[in-house]
Structure 1
Amino acid sequence: MFINKEDLGSVIYDYQLDQITDGNDDLVVQACNAAIEEARSYLTPNTDNKKWLDGRLLYDVENIFNKVGNDRHSLVVQHCCTLAKWYVAELCNADFIYEKAKERYDRATSWFTKVATGTINVSSLPQLVRDETTAGDKQPFEFGSRAKFNHDY
């Protein structure tokens, strides 16, 4: 798994996590999995949508999220932990400020959105090579004229 309970120590104290989940590690695993899936959804290009062919970087999402240990991208790990904390915080806001968790969640999702749209680029993330398999046969621009207008009914 890309992140786990031990990684969450950077965003939430262990006693808070145990208090909120009542010691149920399955809830922590579920929050981590939800955070990973949300992060993946931001970075995965929609190749059916032509706007993804506008020249923005395409990240190798499988490669990014298959890394383990110190090979993981630290900023992606940190933002995934923030997302997971939000999913845990939905259960209860015991002993930490709910608004602060919400603010950090919004900041993390904003960062992923900026990376996905190409507003910011993370040069240290693995990227896909743009070729026939990643771009398909669609082009970002189409040329031609409209069909001739005809008054016949």
Structure 2
Amino acid sequence: MFLTESDLKSSIYGYQVTQITEGDDTIVSIALAAAEEELRSYLSGNNKLENYDGRLRYDVDAILSATGADRNALIVKHAVVIAKYWVIDLCNADIIYEQAKERYDRTIEWLKDLRDGVVNLSTLPTLSPEAIAADERQPFSMGSRKKFNHE
């Protein structure tokens, strides 16, 4: 898993997590997994033709399989914000919910900007042009329809 429980401690106190989850570590594991999947959804393009217009396409598997110091610190921080939001979604014990929600919204907007090419991270692995070419999708197509005949 990309995130660990110790990563979550950089954004929320341990006593708060324990109070919210009532000591159930599976709740934290679910929140971390949900955060990773949400992060993956923003970093991965879908099959819409407009996503093949020359923007960087990140190697999401390489990004999320990195461990320890090899992980991108900014991506980890954004993933932690998402995980924190999923944990505190359960309860509002001694946490300023509005602040957490605002940070979550900012994180989502930043991830959308990253996906759309408004911002780029030079330290994230990208897919090679060969891997993109293997997809056989072209950003533009030209040509005309076949001539219509009444037969």
TM-score (norm 2): 0.92
Q: Percent identity?
A: 49
Q: Which residue of 2 aligns with 1:50?
A: 49
Q: Distance in 1 between matches of 2:58 and 2:38?
A: 15
Q: Which residue of 1 aligns with 2:139?
A: 140
Q: Which consecutive segments of 4 or more residues in structure 1 shift more than 4 A?
A: 146-149
**Structure 1 stretches of 5 or more lacking a match?**
none
How far 1:5 sits from its partner (Å)? Answer: 1.2
| Aligned pairs for 1:51-130 within 5 A | 51-130=50-129
Instruction: For 1:27 and 1:77, locate their aligned partners in 2 and report how far apart those are by CA, in whole Å.
Output: 19
* In structure 1, C-alpha distance between the alignment counterparts of 2:45 and 2:129, rounded to whole Å: 12
CA RMSD in angstroms, aligned pairs only: 1.7
Instruction: Tell me by how many angstroms 1:55 deviates.
Output: 0.8
Deviation at residue 142 of structure 1 after TM alignment: 1.6
Count residues with an aligned counterpart.
Answer: 149
1:11 corresponds to which letter in structure 2? S
Spell out, residue by residue over 1:4-24, the C-alpha distance to the aligned partner (whole angstroms, 9 max, x if none).
Answer: 111111110101010000011
Deviation at 1:134, TM superposition (A): 2.3
Q: 1:146: how far off? A: 5.8
DSSP 3-state at the match of 1:40: helix
Residue 42 of structure 1 deviates from its aligned partner by 0.6
Instruction: Name the structure 2 match of 1:16.
Output: 16
**For residues 3 and 69 of structure 1, what CA distance do their matches in structure 2 show?**
10
TM-score (norm 1): 0.91
Q: What per-residue deviation string (whole Å, max 9, x for no partner) do you get for residues 129-153 of structure 1?
A: 122x42422211121346779xx9x
Q: Output one character per residue of 1:32-90: Cα deviation in whole Å (capped at 9) or x when no partner.
A: 000000001111122x3211211100111111001111111000100100000000111
SS of equivalent to 1:123: coil
Aligned partners of 1:130 and 1:45: how far apart in 2? 15
For 1:34, what is the secondary structure of its paired residue?
helix
- Give, as a single letter, the amino acid of the residue that structure 2 aligns with 1:75: L
